[in-house]
Structures are given as structure tokens and as C-alpha cells.
Structure 1
Amino acid sequence: MKILALDSSGLVASVALVEDDTLVAEYTMNYKKTHSQTLLPMLDEIKKAVELDLETLDAIAVAAGPGSFTGLRIGSATAKGLGLALNKPLIGVPTLEALAYNLYDTAPGTLVCPIMDARRKQVYTGVYAFENHNLITIKDQAALPMDELIRELNSLERPVIFLGDGVPVFRDMIAERCQVPYSFAPAHLNRQRAGAVAALGAVYYKEGRTQRPEEHQPEYLRVSQAERERAKRLAKNGEA
């Protein structure tokens, strides 16, 4: 089984190829470039480096959100274009589940809590654990205030590992308010990685959780800033 994976849901752009239980190639970049500049060239580099024939792929996995609205659209459009051109199914992998999968088989009883900065003192987050080598969802992914998340984690009374681009933003708040033992994932595991999207995508592929390319839609969890501003303008005009 050969899975190509893309993740452009956050600041990181990442492309990976997994074949059976082997990570064949992964190209990850966390730098000041837009995903429209990096994602396709990264894919092309992997294709050339491992002499990948795209026709041999079984499926294309893509980080399906939440995350950056622009980044999700770029990843979705790229995956859908490839899927349609190659007649291959897509696997939409929730961004936060893929982030949590970076910490595969964390110690029993320990929670994994990815946090992505969603602005306005909010995070995109979910709470996960591993049981019998399987990723278990304790709290479904959602957008919520960071202080509310910390209260929920305190109520669960279990050790927690934080990861994601929200960590540097909310590290001080975590230190001040988190009442359970906590730690932070190390540098090589604390951001989005297409390798995790591919590995979890392979699990979902075996479970039959695929979709036709034209069916795929990113999961934004909330409307974009542009849409919020448009709604405000319409409401204001309506009142006038």
C-alpha cells in the first residue's frame, strides 16, 4: 500500500510518501514562504528523489483541517487535482488527529493535546490518548478559548503533553493555570508532519475511510475573518 500525504494546514508545509510500514520520504519546511510557493515543488522533489510513479499510488491523504484557511484550500486543491488526474481516492485526515499521531503510543493514561493558534485567544484543539496502539478521541476537535481548554484538562486529572504552534503563544498561560502534570513535545514532533498524515491515513484507508476527490472539503470549524467582516457589513447595511 502506497500513500502520498500533504499537510499545509498551518505554518508548516509537508509532503510524505509511506509504503506499507515504511516512511519512504518526507519533506517538511517551516519557513517564511507561502504554501503556494512550496507544496508542489516539494512534491516534485520527492517524486524525483525516489523515482515515484504517481500511478502506483493507492491513495492521497491530506490534512483536512482545521487550520489556516488559505493553507487548507491549497492542500485540498492540490490533493483533489492529483486525485482527479490519477483517478485515486482521497483520505481526509483531521489535522489535530494527525498532530496527535506524532506522539504514537504515548504512555497509558497520558493525554495528547495539540493546540493550533486560532487567534483571538482561541485555539484549534482536541484531546487524545492511545489505547491498545489505537488513537482514541477524548474530546473532538474544536475551536475554543485557551482558558476553557485548560479548565477541561484540569477536570480530566490526567498528565498531558502539548504540541502545535499554539504552544509558544500560550506557554505562559499553561504554566500559570494548568493544575495537572504537563510537558511539551520535542522539536522534531511538535508541528505538522505529512509522515503522520500518511501513517494515520493508511490506517483509515484500511478501514475504508476514503472519498472521491470531488467529495473532499476542508473542515474549517469556523468562518474566515473575511466572511465574518462581510457578515458584519451586511448586518450593518440591514440595520441602516
Structure 2
Amino acid sequence: MMRSAALCMALCLAMSMAACQPGPAAPPQSAPTSSVAGPPADSAGGATSPAVTSPEPPAPAAPPALSAEAQAQLDQELVAAAKANNVPLVSELIGRGGNVNAKDAIQDSAFLYAGAEGFNEVLRLTLAAGADVASTNRYGGTALIPASEHGHVETVQILIAAGVPVNHVNNLGWTAMQEAILLNSGGPRQQEVVRLLLAAGADPGIRDPEGRTALQNAERLGFAEIAALLRGHG
């Protein structure tokens, strides 16, 4: 009986010790997810960088305002540079605020002189800078009239395309077409100028101070090719 009691006490002790051992470890908790979304993933699973926009280049600064005296000096330098056909200097002076319509003492502007003399690079610079295509020289003529007189074919094309009036009459009573006939030799360049003027809508019926039309002057001066052009135009 004593042996049975000892066995019972040993069994109770073993059960008590088993109850004191730690149980199995709890599974680890997952880290909380952030409520702030990260950068979007690309197709390969990596994060894409946000697009970077290049800043707009700054606009070129306007030339500083000049006093009336300084502006007048700059404008005269521009006319002189145009008369010298100095293209780089003309470009520089325009960039500094030179006025392509300002005139010198004999009523030449950079635009008018370049047109009259066939300085086409200077002429294009003045047109790009806002030349007044209807402005007139000391004879009351547009740039197209002396350009036609001198037979500057490319210049005539530029001026017509720019919108210079083709039927303007100067203080001498002549149009561009009349000057192309009256004040030159009637050669190939003059013939091409007359052709360009006719195509641009010039009126050959406008008479000179003596009452002659362009055709009558061409016939009188023996310019058979020009006369044929005018007859063909009707």
C-alpha cells in the first residue's frame, strides 16, 4: 500500500512539471503596411522614377530703352552700316534696337537703301525687323521702283513677296515698270523684271507724265522683247 501511494505521488509530480513547460512559439506577426503608396512599379517589377520636365529657356531680354539722342545715333549708324552692305554690323545694330525705318538726311532708311541697291541680305534683315514696305524715298518712290530700274531681279522678287505696292507712282510720275523701261537698257534683267511685275499685277496702262504707256515707251526705245511681253499680257 505504501508502494501504491509512492507511485501516485510520483505521477502527480510529473504532471505538475509538464504544466510548467512553455508552449509552442506563436507565429510571427507581419509588419504593418504603410498607408502611403510608393512609386508605381514598371513592367519589370521595379519602381519607376517620376518624369522630369526640362525648364523653358528664358526669353531673350529686350534691348534697354535709350534716350532720344542715343536712339537717333544708333539709327544713323544702322543706315550707314546698310549703305556699306555690312551685314554683321546691321544685324548687331538691329539687335541693339536700331530702327530699320529711320531715315538719314537724304531720306534713305536701311530698308529703302538695301532695296534700291540690291543688298539682299541686309534687305531680309530689315524685313524681319519690321520694315515698312510702303515707305518712300526722297523721290516719293518705294524700294521696288529703283530696284526695278537697276534690274535687281532677286531683290524685286523679295520686295514683291513682302507686299511692296507694284503700282505706286513716284514724284516723277513713274511706276516701277515705267522706270524698268525708261531708265535702263531693255536687256535680259529688265525683261525679267517686267515679267515679274506683270505677274504680280502691275498695270502697264499707267501713263508717264508725257502720257505714254509702258508699251509705248518700250516701242519708242526699241525694246522689242519687253514690248512683246506687254502685248502678250494684253
TM-score normalised by length of structure 1: 0.23
TM-score normalised by length of structure 2: 0.23
**Which is higher, the Rg of structure 1 or of structure 2?**
2
- Greater relative contact order (Cα 8 A, min sep 6): structure 1 or 2? 1
The structure where helix makes up a greater share of residues is: 2
